[in-house]
């Protein structure tokens, strides 16, 4: 797949919660080819402060625009939150290996934690609503990123909040277990897709492996180049893999659960 560098116009930059924003970026070159699970490297400022581009999952496309859903956590994302419509940022992408789509009539279970919902919104938009269930967990009701604000056609999202202020009271993995438990040991035709904080990913991964459910995880790692050149984003591969490490940027960010050494993550 062709990787492009584009100077992209900011079409909108909308605050969704106290610390998350949705940015629309005019990108005719990438919007047509990007796949769910892929990401872009954003140069948030034309100078060299911050020096490094920041990686963001593509959370959807609208006509010639790429959507990025981002949480303000530090310098780069604070600069992004101040950007106005009409300003430009430089993008490199689409990068990485995205999600493999489930076969035929398989039921996909999408499990998101916090801002990890971004690539799963994109995945949901490419599937028939009857072919997936979407579970998303947030700290509290105020943190919820609502499907209708991002991807109107992402269907129903079953919500969990840690403090019980909306939806299921507890972790999103509790919602997943409640869905799987009555089905007993047989899980034919089910596949899992997940993105979120590492402890959540680990729990979903172990659950999937114990029940022998195919599962793809989207990982995050500190990234400098995003292109497989700097080795900064290495994660330890599972013991049965042919290689000791994978690069999250070029081998992932989406991996089958069995490819990763979950004891080291
Ligand atoms: C493939 C990929 C996809 C991503 N997709 C999204 C997305 O869709 N939306 C989104 O909001 N963020 C996403 N991230 C994380 C995002 O890249 C970081 O939050 C961002 O780079 C922080 O930049 P900053 O300059 O604001 O923060 P910095 O000033 O660089 O760091 C501030 C704090 O955030 C922590 N941090 C920085 N990068 C990461 C990271 N990759 N993972 C966890 N903690 C980090 C730092 O340790 C520090 O505590 C993704 C990361 C990767 C690797
Ligand atoms: S970020 Fe440089 S190798 Fe992955």
Domain with CATH 3.40.50.80 in the chain: 107-218
Calculate how far, in angstroms, residue 144's C-alpha sits from the geometric centre of ligand 2. 31
Domain with CATH 2.40.30.10 in the chain: 4-95
What is residue 154's predicted lDDT score, i.e. its pLDDT? 60
CA dihedral (126, 226, 213, 175) positive or negative = negative
DSSP codes, 78-126: HHHHH--TT-EEEEEEEESB-PPPPPTTPEEEEEEEGGGHHHHHHHHHT
Tell me if residue 142 falls in helix, strand or coil.
helix
CA dihedral (160, 189, 191, 156) positive or negative = negative
What is residue 103's predicted lDDT score, i.e. its pLDDT? 75
Calculate how far, in angstroms, residue 255's C-alpha sits from the geometric centre of ligand 1. 19
Q: Which long-range contacts (CB under 8 A, 24 or more apart) does 202-208 make?
A: 202/262, 202/265, 203/171, 203/173, 204/111, 204/173, 204/176, 205/257, 205/260, 205/262, 206/262, 207/173, 207/176, 207/177, 207/180, 208/257
Mutation choice for ligand 2 from 222, 231, 246, 253, CB with most ligand atoms inside 8 A:
231
Q: Which CATH class is domain 107-218?
A: alpha beta
Answer yes or no: CATH 2.40.30.10 is held by domain 4-95.
yes
Calculate how far, in angstroms, residue 54's C-alpha sits from the geometric centre of ligand 1. 7
Give me the residues of the chain with pLDDT under 70, please.
152-154, 184-186
């Amino acid at each position: 797949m062709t990787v492009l560098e584009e100077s992209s116009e900011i079409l909108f930059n909308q605050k969704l919660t106290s610390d998350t924003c949705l940015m629309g970026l005019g990108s005719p070159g990438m919007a047509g080819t990007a796949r769910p699970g892929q990401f872009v490297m954003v140069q948030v400022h034309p100078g060299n402060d911050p020096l490094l581009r920041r990686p963001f999952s593509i959370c959807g496309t609208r006509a010639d625009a790429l959507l990025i859903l981002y949480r303000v956590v530090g310098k780069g994302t604070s600069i992004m939150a101040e950007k106005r419509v009409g300003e430009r940022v430089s993008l490199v992408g689409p990068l990485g290996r995205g999600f493999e789509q489930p076969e035929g009539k398989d039921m996909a279970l999408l499990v998101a934690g916090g801002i990890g919902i971004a690539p799963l919104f994109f995945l949901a938009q490419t599937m028939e609503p009857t072919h997936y269930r979407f579970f998303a967990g947030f700290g509290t009701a105020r943190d919820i990123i609502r499907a209708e604000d991002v991807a109107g056609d992402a269907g129903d999202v079953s919500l969990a909040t840690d403090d019980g202020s909306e939806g299921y009271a507890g972790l999103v993995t509790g919602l997943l277990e409640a869905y799987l438990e009555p089905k007993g040991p047989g899980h034919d035709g089910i596949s899992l897709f997940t993105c979120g904080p590492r402890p959540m990913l680990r729990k979903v991964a172990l659950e999937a492996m114990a029940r022998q459910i195919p599962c793809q995880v989207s990982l995050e790692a500190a990234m400098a180049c995003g292109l497989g050149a700097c080795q900064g984003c290495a994660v330890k591969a599972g013991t049965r893999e042919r290689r000791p490490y994978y690069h999250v940027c070029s081998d992932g960010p989406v991996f089958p659960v069995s490819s990763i050494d979950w004891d080291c993550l």
